[in-house]
Structure 1
Amino acid sequence: MTSFVRSILLATTTLASAATGIVPARADIMEPTATAAAATVAAEAPQESPSSVGTGASDRSGEIFVTARRRQESSQDVPVAISVVGGEHIDATGSFNVGRLQQLTPTLQFYSSNPRNTAVNIRGLGVPFGLTNDGIEQGVGIYVDDVYNSRVASATFDFLDVAQVEVLRGPQGTLYGKNTTAGAINITTNQPTFDFEGKAEVSLGNYNFKQAKAAISGPLSETVAARLAISTTDRRGTIYNVTTSQWIQSQDNLGLRGQLLWTPTETLDITLAGDFSAQDANCCGSVYVRTGATQRALNRQFEALAAAQGYAPVSRDPFDRRTDLDTPLQAENKIGGASLRVKWEVGPGTLTSITAWRFWDWDPSNDRDFTGLPIVSKSQNPSQQDQYTQELRYSYSSDTIDFVVGAFGFYQRIDTQGTEEHGAASSRWSIAPSNPLSNDPATLNGLVAYNTQYLKNTSAALYGQLSWHVTPELTLQPGVRLNYDKKEGFYQRRVFDAAGNEVLATRTPTALQAAQLAIFTPQEISPSFSDWNFSYDFTASYKVAPDVLVYATYAKSFKSGGINQNGVPLAQDNVTPLYDVATVKPESVYHYEAGLKTQFWDRKATFNLSIFRTDIKNYQANVNNGQFGVLRGYLANAGAVRSQGVEVDFSIRPSERFNAYANGAYTDATYRKFVDAPCPPELSGGTTAQVGQVPAAPGTPGLSPANCDISGERLPGISEWSFSFGAEANRPVSLLGREGEVYFGYDGSVRTNFSSNPSPSAYTWIDGYSLHNFRAGFRTEGGFDVYAWLRNAFDEDYFEQLFVGPGNTGLIAGLPGDPRTWGFTIKSNF
């Protein structure tokens, strides 16, 4: 069905794009802008101003308007560090999901080994780096048309008919339903219109890349309008699996969105929306990168274990882009939902109600040993998630006072059924050679663990923010939030041998039981957590001049406590779960920020500056114990974390023929106190040192520390320096009898090195890299556009992530970033 829809869409949008491209341009159709609201206001503006900082060079509209504070206003008047990326620039740069958006916004970090294990952070904060644990909240809220998306898997889908994306940096909890301690991504889609309009777009490129998008909008009656949008993306993978003779890391995305707008009166708008997205890629895998010495016995490290079974990686050069994973890969991903938004002009303000239901179905299969050996023969944790949200808010604006007050309710249910099984190579790989059981494949072959878990997550909040314009220049803005959270979880792991006999935990296991329990340990826990929290913020802003705004913010926020939804470590008897670590304390967040927003040169140039510091107590960290199946990962509170830095955004538009931007960030994000952190691989794998014993040197077999002090080390995933920059120039021409302009655009990004492990390791630092993208084309005022594009133009070799292999063998696997890609796009608005 997906293939049929894709073929039909590709054919029809190609015909539509080509056909509309030869129709004479209509003077009554306005050129695309970064946002529909901006189009109206820009037409009335006395003079053109550059795009809002961060929008990128191809957005050719005037002043950019945002809804960051739940009301429409110029981004330069908002005392918040904010980047705005218009829909036009999203299309032009191929930034069709949040992951690609990070190349345009330096302080946004996106890491994804698969849709479930996805992290979206801002300024290094948000969610822990590593395997996803459903028992905690996001620190970065993702909103699509005011609807909160609780799972970051939504960030892996293609943007669908997007008008603009706002990236708000810093705590935003007094304005949004869910508490967003690190920031928010506010995505606005194009809305139904009472004038008929449409657009079609087709892209083709190397790696068999095919992408098609289409949208149509118009009236159904005098009071009802509708909009329908569809998109599809398909691309061959970039890594070749020699075991299955398949290309992996492919793209196979389908998205649908429909909206109905009913305006029974001039003061009442009702919008019913529904969407569905599906991914069915041949994904997700990795390649061999290197091995690093650990503190395991030499005959239990990767090179010796591989040699003992006659195994060698298919390639030791990761940028050969070849792998030999032997477990079938699968990443079926479906997400969607429906929402009802009611906006009613009540008295002097606006009452808004948003009722929404969303679902996420995840059906994966992974190769958790990262090799071509049948060590872990099956690893899959299908998950089904439903969420229900209700938000009610009232907003009011006047010359003296603006305010927003709201109430938010949230309920989420997650069910997961996991299966992990070991194969014929596991015994020799996982059991010490001195143990006779290591020579018998039947010891671990067929050993299977079935994991059953569910989570019930309930949240409710009252929030509000007031802006008091003391004078036309001075505004004081306090905000408050009262929040209640409750989480109830269940986790059960049952273990069976190949004959179907249940393996039970025991304090006096036999040799066979001990070998099997070292791989999978049965466990059952029912953790729960509930808490009330109060948070607040205060911002003072002052207009030094009509186009110069300075502001300062202090925020005391929190991120809800959580539960260890994937199990907990065991006590020394290897039987009893450590119930005291089943729950995780809330994060306490203290945020300080000062900023400057200014426009000059007759508003042809924009310069914004922000300086920030965020201190977090009881930081929620994701840690692993390094074993295959004893515990995939669990949550713990680090003592303290600090993120501080400087962000600079600059854009310039001296004329309609040229515009450019440059954004940069310095981010110093470190563990201030984490004295009992998990150790990196070079300090792991040996016998645990007891009190008075001295651990061996890093990478030397012998004693290993029970834990490590990583205070002062950098947080994972954070580059100290990151930049994005670009420009576009155009020139009027007449081509094929049509008046228009030829243009050339460039977008680049640079970042310095970063750690790809929660505890920094010499083996998992990723070198800094730069990416350079070009485009050139011809467009008309009527909305016809055809252009060629080149991304990662210089074919830079870089890693998106590195992974520490299980078992402390020293194996490091990785996910290479996309190589050079090229293609062309034809699109038209009508």
Structure 2
Amino acid sequence: MRKTIKFNPLAVGVMLACGASFSYAEAALEEVTVTAQKREQSLQEVPIAVSAISETQLIENGITDMTEIQKMSPNTTLQVSRGTNSTLTAFIRGIGQQDPLWGYEPGVGIYIDDVYVARPQGAVMDVFDVERIEVLRGPQGTLYGKNTIGGAVKYVTQKMTGDTEISIGSALGSYNQRDLKLKASTGLTENLNIGAAVASFNRDGFGENIRTGEDQYNKDILAARVSLEYSPTDSLFFRLAADKTTDKSASRHGHRLGIGANGEPVLDNVYDTESNLPSDNLVETSGMSFTAEWELSDSITVKSVTASREGKTETVIDFDSVSTASFDVPAIYDDEQLSQEVQLIWQGENADLVSGIYYYDGTAAGAYDAVIGGGTTAVNGSVDTQSLSAYAHYNWQFADQWNLNLGGRYTRDDKEADVYNATLIGQGSDFSHDKYYSDTPESVLNTLRTDYTNSDSWGEFTPRVGVDYQVNNDVMLYASYSTGFKSGGFDMRGVETANPNTRNGYAPETVDTVEFGWKLDMLSNRLRLNGALFRADYTDMQLTTQRLLPDNTTVGDVLNAGKSRIQGIELEASLALTDNLSANANLGWVDAEFIEYMSGSTNIADTRDMQNTPDTTAMVQLNWSLPMAGGEMVIVPSASYRSDTQIFEYPSALDQEGYTLVDLTATYYSADGNWNLGLQGKNLTDEEYRIAGYVFGGAFDTAFYGAPRTIALTGSYNF
């Protein structure tokens, strides 16, 4: 039989309204362990807003990639970025980064175990070989560092048991979905374990290029992970791990919202295109890590995490979705990173400490061409970053039921950037001409607009102070003040001839957040109700403003031109009605308002709103288990809601009205626990909804959409 962990969200009001009686229920919710504070703790003891989604929940909710986690966490946006298949756009509580251009920093940190993933390319990870996924909301600057001012998402993999375990899983579904997962681990000796997992995800497109018949919105991904774990003594643990993902899904082009550049009509199917560009697309990401843990004593543990990651992207974006080079953008990205973290964890009788030193060395490089008719704007460059930080987080039980949390982190960032921007006569620069425009003459330089190398450094201290009160074994209240910052940088698109100050770069942005929260277990541990009230003051916001130049090209300036106030509430609840029936739900409400948005000397805050931040997110689901044929059938109906969403800070044709997605899954577990079989229905009402896009006016307004209705038959077998 399966082991079910149910701890999610808030259907309490729904159940109470239905007149549910709890007097007969013997069911109880299980304890949930998280590592949100870089050590194992019960979810109910962690004084921060965190959601944890277990492997069982991932299976029973039919969650296949990182973006579907957004419905399980309030005030969270995780979407596939515009014009891509596996680049992640992440926002939490109104803070994030939509533009995946090299050199720009994210506002939500992504982690594989304890390793920071610096670039969003390839971050839409498919779910396999995972123990749980944690979503930490609010600034995590003390323990996790820069670029977590909105929060962090942690992908936690499983440790091996030493037993020989082999499993195979597959899925067959709509649009010729064909997924296969293989996983195996065994003990080579009493203290040495080896494991590997490989997964192939394939699906035909939701649409097609009507000129060539090639797929649009298809899936062609191969991912693998291997690990070696060694425990020579009870106090020593070592893990060597490596992973690689190759995404060959077709390049994705947007749906034109208006008449094309040559008078082409709007296509009926929002997933179709008529692009002149080929469908070739490649995203490769890989990484290695070495983790060493040494328990020096019952109270002191030293941990080291050494990691490297690299990624490569070759893609094309057709901004006009027509059969001529009206607005083509071929692009390449190349990045690599090396990080080293050393932690000291101390546990005393009434206090504990997590401290460490973190070093990061990374390079993000790339190039793209904006080919418009017979001309090209060529942009390329790179950013080298070195970052060093030291941190400490101290928790002191100063009275029987009271804890004081004190933390701080100092980070020093050094960056050096090379930036090049020129206009060319002809189609394509050196990197793209032969591949896409070889039937036209070679391009020649028209105007050199930017060509500089510059460097800068920033230092930032991010403190945290909090207090929590354990009212009794079932109730914990907390209050905290925390800060976070996103690193400064240089505008890779900067046009120095139009804005000479672009070579000076832009400064970090910061956020100060006050949070009041609670963790409640009630009704003899059958009802769990967690929540938080928060207010954030967001300053020196890095905003991109667009201008039209006399040569009819556009320039975007990145400026520290914004201030905003963000406040809201988050509720998560679980209710165990009986041994066989539970309800989960969450609710997020956020009021995000610009206080200042400077355009030159004019404050235009009244005309701007926070992007990718619906004011209301909600999810409600039931989890019903039934004895069947000697095993157990688990049925999970769910509905998730997102209110009106503005894709950019300014209103546009892309803005999405509120919508609800309805899902239904049924999973059968065999009596011996060796196999399961599931039927998963996603977006059953076939809701059409936009998740991203580009707005350049008229023929160049294009949108990207979430998946239509899909049905899949899934299964797995443990040997």
User: Is the TM-score greater than 0.5?
Assistant: yes
What is the deviation of 1:101? Answer: 1.2
> 1:474-553 alignment to 2 at 5 Å?
474-498=402-426, 522-553=449-480
**What SS class does the counterpart of residue 815 from structure 1 fall into?**
strand
Question: Would you say the 8 A contact 2:598–2:605 is kept in 1?
Answer: yes
2:392 aligned to 464, 476, 493, which one?
A: 464
What is the CA-CA distance between 1:612 and the residue it aligns to? Answer: 0.5
Q: Distance in 1 between matches of 2:110 and 2:427?
A: 46
Structure 1 residue 564 corresponds to structure 2 residue 491:
yes
For the pair 1:31 / 2:8, whether they are aligned, the reply is: no
In 1, Cα distance between the equivalents of 2:683 and 2:535? 33
The amino acid that maps onto 1:401 is A
Tell me how far apart the structure 1 counterparts of residues 540 and 146 of structure 2 sit (CA, whole Å): 20
Q: Quick check: 1:815 aligned with 2:710?
A: no
Unaligned runs of 5+ in 2: 13-26, 431-443
In the alignment, the residues of structure 2 paired with residue 254 and residue 194 of structure 1 have an alpha-carbon distance, to the nearest angstrom, of: 26
Residue 828 of structure 1 is matched in structure 2 by 717
Corresponding residue of 2:154? 186
- What residue is the counterpart of 2:440 in the other structure? none
**Alignment of 1:244 onto 2:227:** no
Would the aligned equivalents of 1:289 and 1:318 in 2 still touch at CA under 8 Å? no
CA distance in 2, matches of 1:527, 1:708: 30
CA drift of 1:95 comes to 2.0
Residues 569 and 177 of structure 1: CA distance in aligned 2, closer, same or farther (over 3 Å): same
Q: 2:563 aligns with which of 634, 640, 647?
A: 640
Contact 1:529–1:563 (CA under 8 A) maintained in structure 2: no
Q: Which runs of 5 or more structure 1 residues have no equivalent in the other structure? A: 1-29, 35-49, 291-302, 427-444, 503-515, 572-576, 678-705
Q: Which moved more, 1:396-405 or 1:252-261?
A: 396-405
Answer yes or no: is 1:608 the counterpart of 2:530: yes
- The one of 702, 721, 728 aligned to 2:623: 728
Counterpart of 2:676 in structure 1 is 785
SS of 2:284's partner is strand
1:358 aligned onto 2:309: yes
CA distance in 1 between counterparts of 2:701 and 2:326 reads 16
Counterpart of 1:484, as a letter, is R
| 2:265 counterpart residue number | 313
Give the distance between the partners of 2:55 and 2:597, measured in 1 at CA: 42
Q: Deviations along 1:26-81, whole A, 9 cap, x unmatched?
A: xxxx73566xxxxxxxxxxxxxxx5255899xx99821101111111110110010
Whether 1:657 and 2:580 are equivalent positions in the alignment is yes
Residue 54 and residue 217 in structure 1: after superposition, are their counterparts in 2 closer, same or farther (change >3 A)?
farther
After superposition, the CA RMSD in angstroms is 2.7
> Counterpart amino acid of 2:482?
A
What is the distance in 2 between the residues matched to 1:747 and 1:500? 48
CA-to-aligned-CA distance 1:388-409 (integer Å, 9 cap, x gap): 0000001112330011010000
Which residue does 1:283 correspond to in 2?
251
Deviation digits for residues 651-693 of structure 1, max 9, x if unmatched? 111333111101001111121110318xxxxxxxxxxxxxxxx
Higher mean displacement: 202-211 or 175-184 = 175-184
Higher Cα radius of gyration: 1
CA positional deviation for 1:623:
3.4
Structure 1 residues 675 and 226, CA gap change in structure 2 (3 angstroms): same
What aligned pairs does 1:221-300 form with structure 2 within 5 A after superposition? 221-290=189-258
**Residues 53, 649 of structure 1: 8 Å contact kept:** yes
Partner of 1:123: 93
1:635-714 aligned at under 5 Å gives the runs 635-676=558-599, 709-711=604-606, 713-714=608-609
Partner of 1:697: none
Q: CA deviation at 1:115?
A: 5.2
Q: Go from structure 1 to structure 2 and tell me whether the alpha carbon gap of 1:95 and 1:626 turns closer, same or farther (over 3 Å shift).
A: farther
Higher strand residue share: 2
Structure 1's 413 and 489: CA in aligned 2 closer, same or farther, altered over 3 A?
A: same
Q: Aligned partners of 2:11, 2:155: CA distance in 1, in Å?
A: 13
* CA positional deviation for 1:626: 6.0
- The 8 Å contact of residues 421 and 493 in structure 2, kept in 1 or not, is answered as no
- The CA distance in 2 between the partners of 1:818 and 1:181, in whole Å, is 29
Structure 2 SS opposite 1:91: helix
Q: Which moved more, 1:109-118 or 1:472-481?
A: 109-118
Letter aligned with residue 363 of structure 1:
E
Aligned to 2:66: 98
Supply the distance in 2 between the matched residues of 1:500 and 1:731 (Cα, whole angstroms). 61
Match of 1:100, SS? Answer: helix
Contact 2:320 2:702 in 1 (8 A): no
Could you say if the C-alpha distance between residues 55 and 457 of structure 1 is closer, same or farther in structure 2, counting changes exceeding 3 Å? farther
Q: Distance in 2 between matches of 1:205 and 1:223?
A: 41
Hey, what's the Cα distance between the residues in 2 that align with 1:87 and 1:597?
Answer: 22
The amino acid of 2:623's aligned partner reads E
Q: What code does the residue aligned with 2:519 have?
A: K
Contact 1:672/1:712 (<8 A) preserved: no
- Contact map agreement 2:67 2:78 (CA 8 A) in 1: yes
Counterpart secondary structure, 2:155? strand
The counterpart of 1:748, out of the listed 624, 639, 650, is 639
Any idea what the Cα deviations from partners look like across 1:444-496, whole Å, max 9, x if unmatched?
A: x2x34443311101111000100001123100001011110011100113444
Change (3 A) 1:569 1:651: farther
Contact 1:177 1:391 (C-alpha < 8 Å) held by counterparts: no
Asked if the contact 1:622–1:758 (Cα under 8 Å) also holds between the matched residues in 2, the reply is no
Alignment match, 2:77: 109
Listed as ranges, the matches of 1:31-110 within 5 Å are 31-32=2-3, 50-51=6-7, 53=9, 62-110=30-78
1:756-811 Cα distance to aligned partner (Å, 9 max, x none): 123233x3321111001101242124142112111101111211124213xx4464
Paired residue secondary structure (1:462)? strand
Mapped partners of 1:553, 1:392: distance in 2:
26
1:453 is matched by which residue type in structure 2?
A: G
Asked if structure 2 preserves the Cα contact closer than 8 Å seen for 1:51 and 1:651, the reply is yes
Q: 1:363 to 1:33 in 2, by over 3 A?
A: farther
Q: Percent identity?
A: 26
1:775 corresponds to 2:665: yes
- Structure-2 change in CA distance of 1:133 and 1:529 (3 Å): farther
Q: CA deviation at 1:546?
A: 1.0
How many angstroms apart in 2 are the aligned matches of 1:652 and 1:674?
43
1:163 counterpart (108, 127, 131): 131
Structure-2 change in CA distance of 1:826 and 1:68 (3 Å): same
Q: Please say if residues 542 and 562 of structure 2, whose CA atoms lie closer than 8 Å, have aligned partners that are also in contact.
A: no
Instruction: Return the alpha-carbon distance in structure 2 between the equivalents of residues 246 and 331 of structure 1.
Output: 12
- Decide whether the 8 Å contact of 1:364 with 1:381 is kept in 2: yes
Shift of 1:563: 1.4
Structure 1 400/622 Cα, relative in aligned 2: closer, same or farther at 3 Å? same
Q: Secondary structure at the match of 2:67?
A: helix
Alignment of 1:374 onto 2:325: yes
**Inter-CA distance 60–600: structure 2 relative to 1 (3 Å threshold):** closer
- Mapped contact 1:31–1:783 kept (Cα < 8 A): no
Secondary structure, counterpart of 2:621 in structure 1: strand
Q: CA contact under 8 A between 2:145 and 2:409: conserved in structure 1?
A: no
- Opposite residue 236 of structure 1, the aligned amino acid is D
Give the 3 Å change call, closer, same or farther, for CA 468–247 of structure 1 in structure 2.
same
- How far off its partner does 1:591 sit? 0.6
- Do the aligned partners of 2:253 and 2:319 also contact (CA within 8 Å) in 1? no
Contact kept, 8 Å, 1:798 with 1:816, in 2: the verdict is: yes
Q: Check whether the contact 1:484–1:530 (CA below 8 A) recurs between aligned residues.
A: yes
The answer to whether the aligner puts 1:598 opposite 2:550 as a matched pair is no
Counterpart secondary structure, 1:766: coil
